[in-house]
């Protein structure tokens, strides 16, 4: 005899639903699409490495791509969407957003299936792009309005160790907002017929005026170690070192449609004896590649554009690091340029634009910029203005034999304290003399005393004056500021 269903016993459909839920919890997929995507990311490590250089891929190899889910969203039934959400939520599958997914979301912002999918996913999704040009403020607003829960935003450009820190959604929104304001102010007033060169120079000028060199980031345990080397330092904190400044210029230009390349390598000015690690950019303008160093130009005394739109040959003191070949990966298989062993080929810059040809772009606001400065003597200013980096308060000084001998003996710690040698040094030590028409003399002082002189009212950017201090003290054993200490990180 058939038993009557009194409502206490589950129907076949309900039992099936319970079984499906249990399967999902145990790792048995309800959605064939999710199953195939998960199997795809479980490829062997060697196979992942082959794909690691793809610029638009999700950099977390344990995450599937939202673009792969959205690609057939129009043909999905309600049950298909429910199955996808059930698998992802119950198994806590990571889902990432790349530039392709951002484009799809922009096209699907009125699509009900896409909205339902995103609103029913109870997970935060990280976003990977290679430039803020791929995730503008309007894109950010679209993604949030569709119910997408954003985890972190990773802009995979610049110094990899700083880029891998990423930005919270709130922080990225502020970064991209400030970047777009700067971009609008720089090129918003240009005519529609403006060339790429016009746009680049307008953006370059904006970066030079906004750049504030962050000397605190050079110390070993600085809290700004990473922020000053990514977009946060430049666009939010208002200070950065070369890596952050170069990356900011790169991203702004890409928003204006200019192809860019971030470069790291060794650099030294004409008056430095040692190279230091540095960062700059290459820009493709009207079909030609050029070098540009916004950090050095921003802190140059006197004329600007000495390091702007130069060929590889004319870009003095800069040597590309061909071993800097980052993957921007953020998992256990992550490999930076220190471990890949693969060399990199940078774009070749074969022609230069003379600085005189760029004078039409000169911004008089450069003359008003007073940031990161130190007071120096008139003669140091004169030399700095002419040669970019002073190595002496008076150039081309001819020492007498006794002065040279006194200088030599003063560097010998076991000799300089002997009474008659000490007297000889005091009598014959070199005294700076100004080359101006007054012929007035400047006493031989330590650099600390020289720079604290209240009569020294002229100013130069701090990086020039501190390099001056550093070089001066190699000869004079004077005051050494903390920020002159060597640092292995990108400057």
> How much is the pLDDT for 332?
62
Q: Which CATH class is domain 170-369?
A: alpha beta
Which SS3 state, helix, strand or coil, does residue 28 take?
coil
pLDDT at 3 over 60: no
Least confident residue range of 68-82, 186-200, 446-460: 446-460
> How much is the pLDDT for 432?
44
Q: Which residue has the higher pLDDT, 417 or 342?
A: 417
Please, are residues 136 and 176 in contact by the beta-carbon 8 Å criterion?
yes
Q: In angstroms, rounded to a whole number, what is the distance separating the alpha carbons of residues 247 and 245?
A: 5
> How much is the pLDDT for 333?
54
> How much is the pLDDT for 281?
97
Please, are residues 313 and 292 in contact by the beta-carbon 8 Å criterion?
no
Most confident of 94-108, 219-233, 299-313, 476-490: 94-108
Read off the DSSP letter of residue 172: H
Burial 163-200 (b: 16+ CB within 10 A, else e): bbebbebebbbebbebbbebbeebbeeeeeeeebbbbb
pLDDT at 452 over 70: no
Please, are residues 298 and 283 in contact by the beta-carbon 8 Å criterion?
no
> How much is the pLDDT for 343?
79
Domain ranges of the chain: 24-156, 170-369, 375-397+432-484
Which SS3 state, helix, strand or coil, does residue 411 take?
coil
As a whole number, mean pLDDT of residues 413-422 equals 81
Residue 205: CB partners within 8 Å, gap ≥ 6?
A: 186, 361, 363, 366
Residue 435: pLDDT band (50, 70, 90) is very low
| Average pLDDT across the chain, whole number | 77
> How much is the pLDDT for 302?
58
pTM, full prediction: 0.71
Least confident residue range of 44-58, 203-217, 240-254, 421-435: 44-58
> How much is the pLDDT for 443?
40
Which SS3 state, helix, strand or coil, does residue 307 take?
coil
Tokens (6 digits) for 422: 């000490």
Closest CA to 440 of 374, 378, 375: 378
Widest Cα–Cα separation across the chain: 127
Closest CA to 58 of 338, 327, 337: 327
Residue 376: pLDDT band (50, 70, 90) is very low
Total residue count of the chain as it appears in this document: 491
pLDDT digit string (tens) for 380-403? Answer: 455 444 444 332 323 334 567 887
Least confident residue range of 5-9, 92-96, 177-181: 5-9
Which SS3 state, helix, strand or coil, does residue 159 take?
coil
> How much is the pLDDT for 58?
86
Q: Which residue has the higher pLDDT, 170 or 11?
A: 170
pLDDT digit string (tens) for 351-367? Answer: 999 988 998 998 877 76
Residue 128: pLDDT band (50, 70, 90) is very high
- Nearest-5° Cα angle at 93, 88 to 98: 100
């Amino acid at each position: 005899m058939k038993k009557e269903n009194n409502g206490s016993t589950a129907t076949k459909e309900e039992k099936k639903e319970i079984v499906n839920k249990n399967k999902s919890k145990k790792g048995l997929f309800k959605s064939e699409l999710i199953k195939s995507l998960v199997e795809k990311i479980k490829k062997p490590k060697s196979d992942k490495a082959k794909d690691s250089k793809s610029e638009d891929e999700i950099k977390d190899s344990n995450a599937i791509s939202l673009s792969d889910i959205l690609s057939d969203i129009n043909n999905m039934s309600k049950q298909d969407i429910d199955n996808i959400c059930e698998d992802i939520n119950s198994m806590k599958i990571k889902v990432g957003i790349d530039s392709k997914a951002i484009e799809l979301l922009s096209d699907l912002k009125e699509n009900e299936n896409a909205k339902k999918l995103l609103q029913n996913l109870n997970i935060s999704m990280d976003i990977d792009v290679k430039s803020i040009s791929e995730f503008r403020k309007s894109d950010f607003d679209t993604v949030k309005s569709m119910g997408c829960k954003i985890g972190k935003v990773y802009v995979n450009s610049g110094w990899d160790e700083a880029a891998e820190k990423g930005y919270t959604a709130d922080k990225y929104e502020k970064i991209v907002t400030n970047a777009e304001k700067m971009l609008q102010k720089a090129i918003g007033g240009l005519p529609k017929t403006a060339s790429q060169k016009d746009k680049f120079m307008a953006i370059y000028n904006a970066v030079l005026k906004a750049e504030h060199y962050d000397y605190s980031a050079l110390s070993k345990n600085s809290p700004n170690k990473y922020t000053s080397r990514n977009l946060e330092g430049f666009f939010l904190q208002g200070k950065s070192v070369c890596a952050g400044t170069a990356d900011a210029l790169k991203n702004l230009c890409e928003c204006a449609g200019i192809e860019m390349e971030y470069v790291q390598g060794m650099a030294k000015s004409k008056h430095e004896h040692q190279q230091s690690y540095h960062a700059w950019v290459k820009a493709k303008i009207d079909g030609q590649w050029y070098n540009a160093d916004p950090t050095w130009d921003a802190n140059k005394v006197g004329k600007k554009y000495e390091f702007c739109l130069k060929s590889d040959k004319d870009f003095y003191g800069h040597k590309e690091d061909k071993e800097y070949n980052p993957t921007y990966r953020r998992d256990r298989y992550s490999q930076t340029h220190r471990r890949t062993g693969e060399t990199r080929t940078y774009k070749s810059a074969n022609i230069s634009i003379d600085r005189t040809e760029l004078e039409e772009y000169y911004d008089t606001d450069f003359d008003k910029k007073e940031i990161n400065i130190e007071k120096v003597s008139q003669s140091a200013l004169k030399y700095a203005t002419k040669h970019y980096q002073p190595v002496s308060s008076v150039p081309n000084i001819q020492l007498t034999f006794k002065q040279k001998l006194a200088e030599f003996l003063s560097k010998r710690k076991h000799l300089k304290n002997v009474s008659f040698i000490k007297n000889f040094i005091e009598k014959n030590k070199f005294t700076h003399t100004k080359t101006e028409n007054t012929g007035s003399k400047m006493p031989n002082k330590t650099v600390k005393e020289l720079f604290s002189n209240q009569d020294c009212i002229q100013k130069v950017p701090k990086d020039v004056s501190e390099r001056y201090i550093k070089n001066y003290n190699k000869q004079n054993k004077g005051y050494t500021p903390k920020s002159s200490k060597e640092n292995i990180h990108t400057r």
